[in-house]
Amino acid sequence: MNPPQELKGKKGLRRLWNALGYSCDGIKAAWQNEAAFRQEILLAALALPLALYFGQSGGERALLIGSVMLILMVEILNSAIEAIVDKASPEKHELAKRAKDMGSAAVLLSLVNAAAVWVCVLWR
């Protein structure tokens, strides 16, 4: 798999700096184009301080924070799948629907996972 044209020939810190920029562009695109991502960012803004407060050990805090961060990661991947499916197949197609539905299911599972983690950690 070839790296993007902008990264070819770049090494070390320059390559990492460029990659960080592309990652920031991805987060910005998700924020601008995906209402669900904006809602989940707001959820994270509430949940992350609560995770630090309620987690009684480093492990508990890591579980609480990790479960919330997983939601954001899966949402971005789902949005990427939707974007590429829309680009590749703008007309309705069963495989396009399947891909989008499976991405949506992954987001749902990440939300269920987060709820389960929070219940397990906080219900003592």
Tell me the per-residue pLDDT of 54-110, one tens digit each, with 9 for 90 and over.
999 999 999 999 999 999 999 999 999 999 999 998 889 999 999 999 999 999 999
Q: Whole-angstrom Cα distance, residue 2 to residue 15?
A: 14
The per-residue pLDDT for 2 is 62
The per-residue pLDDT for 103 is 97
Query: Which residue, among 109, 117, 45, 27, has the nearest Cα to 74 in the 3D structure?
Result: 109
Q: Is 82 a catalytic residue?
A: no
The per-residue pLDDT for 45 is 98
Cβ burial of 37 (10 Å; 0-12, 13-18, 19+) is buried
Ordered by start, the domain boundaries in the chain are 35-122
Higher-pLDDT residue of 1, 17: 17
Q: Look up the pTM and report it.
A: 0.87
Average pLDDT over residues 9-30: 91
Average pLDDT over residues 1-14: 69
Is the pLDDT at 4 greater than 70, yes or no? no
The per-residue pLDDT for 113 is 98
Q: Output the CATH code of domain 35-122.
A: 1.10.287.3610
Average pLDDT value over all residues in the chain: 93
Of the residues 6, 34, 60, 75, only one is catalytic, namely: 75
Phi, psi angles (nearest 5°) of residue 58: -60, -40
118, 67 contact by CB (below 8 A): yes
The per-residue pLDDT for 87 is 93
Is the pLDDT at 114 greater than 60, yes or no? yes
